[in-house]
Amino acid sequence: MKHHAIILLACAFALGGCVSASKFKDQQSQTLSQQKRADALQKDLDAAKASLAVANDGLKKAADIETGSRIQLKANADQLASLNVQMSSLNTQMASVQQSNKDLKESLDAKKGELAKKAFDLIKEKDALSQKLAAASNDLAAATVRATAAEATLAAREKELAQARDEKAALEKAKSEELAKVKQNYDSLTAGLKSEISAGEVTITQLKGKLTVNMVDRILFDSGQADVRADGKKVLEKVGKILTTVADKDIRIEGHTDNKPIVGDLKNKYATNWELSTARATAVLRYLQDIAKVDAKHLVAAGYGEFRPVAPNDTPEQRALNRRIEIVLVPRD
Q: What DSSP character marks residue 219?
A: G
How is residue 229 annotated by DSSP?
Answer: P
Has this prediction a pTM greater than 0.85?
Answer: no
CB 327 within 8 A of CB 240: no
Reported as a single tens digit per residue, the pLDDT across 144-180 is: 898 898 889 888 988 888 988 888 888 778 667 666 7
Give the DSSP letter of residue 300.
E
| Domain 193-331 CATH assignment equals 3.40.140.10 | no
Q: Within a 10 A sphere around the Cβ of 274, how many other Cβ atoms?
A: 17
Quick one: 35 exposed, middle or buried, by C-beta within 10 A (0-12, 13-18, 19+)? middle
Indicate the residue type of 6: I
323: CB partners within 8 A, 6+ apart: 216, 217, 218, 256, 257, 258
At 249 the three-state DSSP class reads strand
Hey, which residues does 327 pair with through a beta bridge?
213, 253
Count of CB atoms situated within 10 Å of the CB of 183:
13
Reduced to 3 states (helix: H, G, I; strand: E, B; else coil), residue 114 is helix
Q: How far is CA 271 from the centre of its chain?
A: 78
User: What percent of the chain has a predicted confidence (pLDDT) above 70?
Assistant: 88
What are the residue boundaries of the structural domains of the chain, listed by start? 29-74, 193-331
pLDDT confidence of residue 108: 62
Q: What is the pLDDT of residues 220-241, one digit of tens each?
A: 998 889 999 999 999 999 999 9
pLDDT in tens, 239-248: 999 999 888 8
- Going from the C-alpha of 324 to that of each of 2, 7, 36, 192, 226, the distances in angstroms are 199, 207, 193, 19, 12
